[in-house]
Amino acid sequence: MAHKKPHLPQKICEICGKPFSWRKKWEKNWDAVKYCSERCRRSKSKT
C-alpha cells in the first residue's frame, strides 16, 4: 500500500535543522510555523 500523502510541503526547523512536513493543525498558519516541535519552540531563547 502506497503512502497517501507523498507531496506535503516541508520546512527546516530553525532550532534543530531537521526537515518537518505540513500538518493539518498548521493549516491556517503554515506560513508562521518555524519550529518542528514544542520542544524546539521552547528552546528558541536558549540558542
Question: Quick one: pLDDT band at residue 4, thresholds 50, 70, 90?
Answer: confident
Is residue 3 situated within a structural domain?
A: no
Is residue 27 situated within a structural domain?
A: yes
Total-model pTM: 0.75
**What average pLDDT does the chain have?**
89
**Would you say residue 2 has pLDDT above 80?**
no
Mean pLDDT of 13-30: 94
Is residue 19 situated within a structural domain?
A: yes
Instruction: Give dist(CA 16, CA 21) in Å, integer.
Output: 14
Is residue 5 situated within a structural domain?
A: no
Instruction: Give dist(CA 22, CA 5) in Å, integer.
Output: 10
Is residue 36 situated within a structural domain?
A: yes
CB 20 within 8 A of CB 30: no
Is residue 38 situated within a structural domain?
A: yes
